[in-house]
């Protein structure tokens, strides 16, 4: 009955999914299936009766990652029940419930520290900027360091600030005081307050620990002491905790995270078991070799990645005259790789800093390449979505009561883009309710629009992703373009200590290991820094690639076989078709559609339409929506969601 949860896992993965150990840590490199194992383990434990879905909490660090987890769990058939969220979202939901239960008004949430910090610096912060001060306060709070302890802690961590640490501590204290007077709490306070409440209020603790008895954490290398304290409070004396992570992908040290908690898991949580996975299922050996070479050169580590995939094109490296020429070349390369079987969403352009994003998007726009910036606000810009959110904002009732109205809007939407965007909002509302069944409608809107941007909302449109290295963590694309691979950006100029530089190397490693089939690296020989052009050098960590013949434009690529990605994919498919008994053309078309659609929606293909149903559709070849809805296993809801796409794939000549 549960075989389908294990049949496509390797031996170590099966052990990780089925191990009775708790607590359990799964330590493994990029692309080895950690997130797959985490979600399968949840599904497996629920399916075998070892855990009740409604008592499971899957935690991660960004809302985008939480959305990804929720999507994969839905794909495994865990539609309701399992709660997913960020530490912040869960803490906030619990606090709100507590405040409401006590009849107390919730303090306002301070979403931008700058609001309180700017007036503090107005009297002359000297060289200290609001952003730097906010960063220092966040770092201190993540490390459980108050204003009094700041100078010592900052000294020990060799934090460099443009003013003496004692002055930062003064401003930090003034910020806390201003916040208290305004009856506000910031994001870090949510974690601290929730942790404190669980530690000191037995009834509250018992209620939360009963609600979430089985805790799972993805990307555990990024946990900070503040989050760890909350996690420890939540788990209480029980030890049903499973974490997965990769110390080589720790990229939030600057923000207070500490991968030592993952490395030291066995010591922290005796009697923990630690399982390692070693296969890589995401990337070609060429990509893995190049990524491992970066870690070696930066002296981060020398861990082999066992490739399981066949070889693909070589990792390319091209130099360009300046950032504009680089961006234009990337836009051309993106266009070149687009094909009937390669949707835009199969590609991503990743950059180290937000400042590089506008060059890339401008070039993509000029080349008429649809794209989305991760963390951008495209969906919230959609008029119909704004209208729907207005409706919710004005409602003074609970979210649960107005949710059917949102679902109805999805059904009534007059075009596909609006339906997709509204469906994404509805999905987020359902996820939100699972964490906080009593959430007010207006509160959901505030949470959606002000506190977290719209990461994860705009996932369904076929578009190239543009994102920073940080925002790309945990994700994957067949083709990845990395821009600006120059000393000064990679590693970033302000990374001075050896530890900071190693973190930068891990960040490059994260970026490179996002690629499945093809990795294209570029840099600019000159770039504007401030208002003057500065000569640049290639990052020392890619020296291994530079040994090969240099490439200027992709047009004058180095000798050797061109990295013809489309042909490569076609060859792979042909090889697959040869290995397996040949699928019918109808089934192949349905598979292609499902793959493209699933990738665009970032769900597992089987989550969209499972294999058995796909085969049944291929066999019956329905011609109308009614015939399609009549295929056993289809049902009207699924038909409404994916029917048009399936019929178009089955009958391409109809021009539906
Ligand atoms: P990261 O460290 O980047 O977050 P990860 O370890 O979480 O990576 P996943 O995202 O779970 O890795 O898996 C990487 C890719 O490999 C996914 O597309 C996943 O579906 C696939 N994969 C994982 N295990 C297997 C397997 N046993 N067989 C085939 N594909 C697999
Ligand atoms: Mg992962």
Could you tell me the maximum CA-CA distance found in the chain, to the nearest angstrom?
75
pLDDT digits (tens, 9 = 90+) for 118-129: 888 886 657 888
Q: How many angstroms is it from 25 CA to the middle of ligand 1?
A: 17
Ligand 1 contact via 201 beta carbon (within 6 Å):
no
pLDDT in the model for residue 588: 67
Q: Whose CA is nearest to atom 24 of ligand 1?
A: 33
Judge whether residue 654 has pLDDT over 50: yes
For residue 290, the CA-to-ligand 2 centroid distance in Å is 20
Long-range CB pairs of 354-359 (<8 Å, 24+ gap) are 354/468, 356/323, 356/483, 356/484, 356/489, 357/466, 357/468, 359/323, 359/324, 359/326, 359/327
Average confidence (pLDDT) over 335-361: 90
For residue 244, give the nearest of 31, 504, 82 by alpha carbon: 31
Q: What is the mean pLDDT of residues 309-321?
A: 95
Is any ligand 1 atom within 6 A of the Cβ of residue 509? no
User: Could you tell me if the CB of 470 is within 6 A of ligand 1?
Assistant: no
Percent of the chain with pLDDT over 70: 84
pTM given for the model: 0.75
In this structure, which residue's CA is closest to atom 1 in ligand 1?
Answer: 30
Q: What is the mean pLDDT of residues 84-91?
A: 92
Q: What is the pLDDT of residue 375?
A: 55
**Would you say residue 81 has pLDDT above 70?**
yes
- Provide the 8-state DSSP code for 510: H
Q: How confident is the model at residue 604 (pLDDT cuts 50, 70, 90)?
A: low
Distance 304 CA to ligand 1 centre (A): 17
Report, in angstroms and rounded to the nearest whole number, the Rg of the chain calculated over CA atoms: 25
pLDDT value at 458 more than 60: no
- Residues 626, 647: contact at Cβ < 8 Å? no
How many residues does this entry show for the chain? 656
Q: Is 31 in the pocket of ligand 1 (CB under 6 A)?
A: yes
* 447 DSSP 8-state letter: I
Q: Of 89, 125, 46, nearest to 428 (Cα)?
A: 89
Please check whether residue 15 is in contact with residue 232, taking contact to mean a CB–CB distance below 8 angstroms.
no
Q: Does ligand 1 lie within 6 Å of residue 602's CB atom?
A: no
Burial class of residue 176 in the structure, from the number of CB atoms within 10 Å of its CB (0-12 exposed, 13-18 middle, 19+ buried) = middle
Stretch 629-650: mean pLDDT: 78
Structural tokens at position 601:
């929606």
Lowest mean pLDDT among 236-245, 391-400, 527-536, 611-620: 611-620
Ligand 1 pocket: which of 29, 30, 32, 33 to mutate (most atoms <8 Å of CB)? 33
Cβ of 33 below 6 Å from ligand 1: yes
Cα 286 to Cα 357: distance, rounded to the nearest angstrom: 27
Least confident of 217-221, 304-308, 406-410, 538-542: 406-410
């Amino acid at each position: 009955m549960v075989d389908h949860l294990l049949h496509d896992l390797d031996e170590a993965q099966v052990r990780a999914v089925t191990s009775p150990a708790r607590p359990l840590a799964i330590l493994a490199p990029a692309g080895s299936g950690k997130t797959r194992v985490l979600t399968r383990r949840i599904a497996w434990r629920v399916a075998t009766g070892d855990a009740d879905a409604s008592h499971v909490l899957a935690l991660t660090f960004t809302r985008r990652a939480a959305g990804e987890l929720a999507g994969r769990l839905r794909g495994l058939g865990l539609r309701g029940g399992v709660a997913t969220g960020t530490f912040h979202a869960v803490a906030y939901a619990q606090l709100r419930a507590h405040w409401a239960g006590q009849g107390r008004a919730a303090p306002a949430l301070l979403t931008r520290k700058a609001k309180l910090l700017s007036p503090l610096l107005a009297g002359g912060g000297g060289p200290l900027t609001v952003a730097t001060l906010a960063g220092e306060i966040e770092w201190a709070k993540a490390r459980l360091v108050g204003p009094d302890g700041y100078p010592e802690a900052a000294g020990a961590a060799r934090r460099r600030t443009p003013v003496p640490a004692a002055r930062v501590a003064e401003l930090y204290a003034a910020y806390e005081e201003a916040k208290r007077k305004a009856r506000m709490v910031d994001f870090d306070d949510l974690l601290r307050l929730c942790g404190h409440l669980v530690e000191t209020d037995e009834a509250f603790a018992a209620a939360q620990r009963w609600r979430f008895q089985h805790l799972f954490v993805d990307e555990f290398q990024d946990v900070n002491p503040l989050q760890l304290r909350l996690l420890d409070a939540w788990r209480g004396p029980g030890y049903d905790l499973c974490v997965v992570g990769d110390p080589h992908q720790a990229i939030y040290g600057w923000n207070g995270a500490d991968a030592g908690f993952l490395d030291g898991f066995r010591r922290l949580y005796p009697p923990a078991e630690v399982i390692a996975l070693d296969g890589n299922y995401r990337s070609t050996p060429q990509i893995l070799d190049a990524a491992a070479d970066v870690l070696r050169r930066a002296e981060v580590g020398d861990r082999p990645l066992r490739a399981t995939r066949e070889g693909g094109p070589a990792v390319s490296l091209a130099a360009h005259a300046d950032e504009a020429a680089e961006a234009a070349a990337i836009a051309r390369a993106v266009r070149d790789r687009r094909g009937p079987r390669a949707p835009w969403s199969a590609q991503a352009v990743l950059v180290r800093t937000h400042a590089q994003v506008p060059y890339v998007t401008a070039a993509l726009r000029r080349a008429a390449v649809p794209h989305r910036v991760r963390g951008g606000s495209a969906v919230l810009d959609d008029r119909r979505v704004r209208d729907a959110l207005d409706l919710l904002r004005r409602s003074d009732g609970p979210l649960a009561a107005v949710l059917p109205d949102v679902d109805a809007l999805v059904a009534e939407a007059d075009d596909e883009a609006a339906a997709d965007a509204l469906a994404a909002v509805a999905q987020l509302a359902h996820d939100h309710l699972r964490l906080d069944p009593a959430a007010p409608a207006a509160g959901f809107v505030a949470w959606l629009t002000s506190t977290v941007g719209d990461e994860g909302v705009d996932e369904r449109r076929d578009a190239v992703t543009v994102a920073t290295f940080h925002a790309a963590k945990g994700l994957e694309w067949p083709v990845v373009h990395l821009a600006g691979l120059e000393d000064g950006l990679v590693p970033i100029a302000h990374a001075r200590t050896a530890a900071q530089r190693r973190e930068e190397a891990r960040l490059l490693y994260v970026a490179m290991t996002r690629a499945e089939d093809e990795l294209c690296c570029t840099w600019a020989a000159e770039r504007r820094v401030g208002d003057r052009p500065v000569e640049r050098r290639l990052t020392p960590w890619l020296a291994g690639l530079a040994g090969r013949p240099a490439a200027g434009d992709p047009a004058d690529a180095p000798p050797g076989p061109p990295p013809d990605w489309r042909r490569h994919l076609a060859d792979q498919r042909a090889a697959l078709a040869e290995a397996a008994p040949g699928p019918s053309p109808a089934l192949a078309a349905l598979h292609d559609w499902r793959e493209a659609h699933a990738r665009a929606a970032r769900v597992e293909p089987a989550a969209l339409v499972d294999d058995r149903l796909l085969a049944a559709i291929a066999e019956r070849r329905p011609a109308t929506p009614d015939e399609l809805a009549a295929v056993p296993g289809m049902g009207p809801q699924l038909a409404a969601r994916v029917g048009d796409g399936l019929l178009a794939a089955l009958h391409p000549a109809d021009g539906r």
